[in-house]
A and B are shown apart, each in its own frame.
Chain A
Amino acid sequence: MKLRKLFTPESVELNLSSESKDEVLKELIQLLGLDEKSEAILFKTLKRRENLGSTGIGKGIAIPHCRSLVVNELRLAYGRKPEGMDFQAIDDEPVHNLFLIVAPPLEVSNQYLPVLGKIAQFAKDPEIPAKLEEIQKPEEFLALLEERAP
């Protein structure tokens, strides 16, 4: 599965405005276009996952993720916080790039874990943070995925 196919321009926000971890999670959730009650449940589930340990994997990247009943297919969103924010990342550095991954409890195609691993690999490529920083439009983010995560 190509990562590019799991994102749309609408699921990409290059200037996240929130300042706190909770608010940025909510802003990312909004990119999925769910209804209000689903957003509230998903927020709680993501928070509980964060309570197990931050999904800030270092080098300015965070990958909040969970399975939740509120989606019926794998959903992804990307948000960028150019000035960085505290996400209690494992290297204690500010987070600039956030990839949200939400999967239904059961998937026929079992894409969730492979996609989670693929996003983590993509984000750990040492050249990626600088490339993400240069992006001006959501379409450029999609093109970067096409190029670097074929």
Chain B
Amino acid sequence: MNSSTSPPDTMHPQLMLLMELQDLRSQYRELEQDEGAAPVEEEHFHIDPAEAREQLQAKVSELEERLDPQVRARYERISPQRDRVVVPVINGVCYGCFVSIATATVGDQDVHQELQSCENCGSFIYVVS
């Protein structure tokens, strides 16, 4: 692994950003739930869930500002409807809607160089190798 934290050049920068956003949103969501991470984080790691959510939300807002206008428009259209704006594609199946994705879309070795979405549910997709 490179010591640099800059994104690998084989991934579309906006996809990278969307994935970071998605991971932050996952953390935020889990800290909202009484039976989620909040009690574990409080007990073992002394985290204040409310404060942590505030920090995460600030970071989410900051990253959202860095989305290209077109991407952001789609992101804002999807995010109120779904917990996950970016969904993994595993073995050719979109894990947002569980419908198979066309091989032409996900079969390319450089699939992450373009920002792609599921034709069925509209979620941005990330192919998990």
Contact = CB atoms under 8 A, between A and B. Distances in A.
A72 interface: yes
A4 B30 CA distance: 26
B40 A53 contact: no
A48 B45 contact: no
Interface string A8-26: 0000000000000001001
B55 A51 contact: yes
A49 B27 contact: yes
Interface string A80-110: 0000000000100000000000001110000
Contacts of B1: 26, 29-30, 36, 39-40, 43
Interface string A32-45: 00011111110111
A69 B88 contact: yes
Contact of B40 (A43, A44, A116): A116
Interface string B88-129: 101000010000000000000000100000000000001011
A52 B47 contact: yes
Contact of B22 (A35, A39, A69): A69
Interface in B27-72: 27, 30, 36-37, 40, 44-47, 52, 55-56, 59
A52 B52 contact: yes
State which size class the interface on A falls in: 35 or more
A37 B40 contact: no
A72 B8 contact: no
Given A36-B2, A37-B8, A37-B112, 11 more contacts: A29-B1, A37-B11, A40-B8, A43-B1, A43-B5, A48-B24, A49-B27, A69-B88, A106-B84, A116-B37, A117-B40
Interface of B: 1-3, 5-8, 10-11, 16, 19-20, 22-24, 26-27, 30, 36-37, 40, 44-47, 52, 55-56, 59, 84, 86, 88, 90, 95, 112, 126, 128-129
19 contacts: A30-B1, A36-B8, A39-B1, A40-B7, A40-B16, A41-B16, A43-B5, A45-B24, A45-B27, A48-B23, A52-B56, A53-B46, A53-B52, A63-B45, A67-B26, A69-B22, A72-B90, A104-B88, A105-B23
